[in-house]
Structure 1
Amino acid sequence: MIKITKEQIKELLQTQRNFDDRIETKNISDLMAAFFIEFVEWVNTVEFFKNWKQNKGKARELQLEELADMLAFGLSLMNQVGDKTGYTERQLSTLFVGLAEEQANATFELTSANFVMMLSKMTNEVIKGIDISVIVSFAYAPFMFANTYYTVDELVEAYKKKMEVNHGRQDKGY
């Protein structure tokens, strides 16, 4: 079950904003591309489609790291699209928690058909135009995947760990 509070989402959004403030140039199109790429990178670590392998799936820690990257770009999109459209952090967290409550038991089992369908659906949503509810659903997706393959707590912990790594990279001129 996915249980997340407005306070937790606000904290995650602020954590992401603190990192994003270190990046001089940002644009939503690049963030969207990065979000999709991290989704595909995470899928590649789960390896559900590699029927030729007897032991599918990379190490759990690596899977969570890739999912945490996807979450980071989802949160960054929420912040930037929210800023652009005038949504406050409070409003964003309310939208997010509303979606989480609606889909509290949502899981998403990866199959080749589901993967292609989800990638197509996400792409079509972007083509239609960036809408805040779509962005919130994108940021929610890693939680749904965590609810299927890990735990939400593991995802949040992996995200926080990855943010420490990302700050360290920026400190070194990454």
Structure 2
Amino acid sequence: MNFIEFIFQDWAANSTSAKGRVILLLFRIANFCTTRKIYYYLGYPYRIFYKILVEWFFCIEIPWNTKIGRGLRIYHGQGLVLNSQVVIGNYCTLRHCTTIGNKQLPTGAISVSPVIGNYVEVGCNACIIGEITIGDHVTIGCGSVVTKSMPANAVVAGNPAVQIKTRLQAVEVA
């Protein structure tokens, strides 16, 4: 994937959100600078610019080294916080006031961050924390606190979040 394809991979997914387009374009440029050693030092001034503009002005914390798949969609983009160790799959949707990160364990150690599958929809004001895995095609309801792994095709909601429904899997037409 060349530079232009890389930085515009979320453009179509955010066709109705200019803010989402700008934030993810800035993120992809910073991520490109971080993941290629030759650009690491050349991209340092840009990463400072990114941190100031995205985190301080847009109030969104998406560290430039976070692993995020293609087609991420951000709705409203306010109060979004991701840990740098979070892994997000392809074509996911994140809404405002969402937190995805690690947690402090009773021993005082810090847990690993969540791994989120493909086509996951996260409602506003949701918290996804701890060493958990969210399967593909999962919908997480607004205000949910997810602290346990969820299987694919689940609809989850609540505090703590529980699976309230299983989606029927789509039948592929040949």
On whether the aligned pair clears a TM of 0.5, the verdict is no
Larger radius of gyration: 2
Greater strand share, 1 or 2?
Answer: 2
TM-score, normalisation: structure 1: 0.27
TM-score, normalisation: structure 2: 0.27
Higher relative contact order structure (alpha carbons within 8 Å, sequence separation ≥ 6): 1
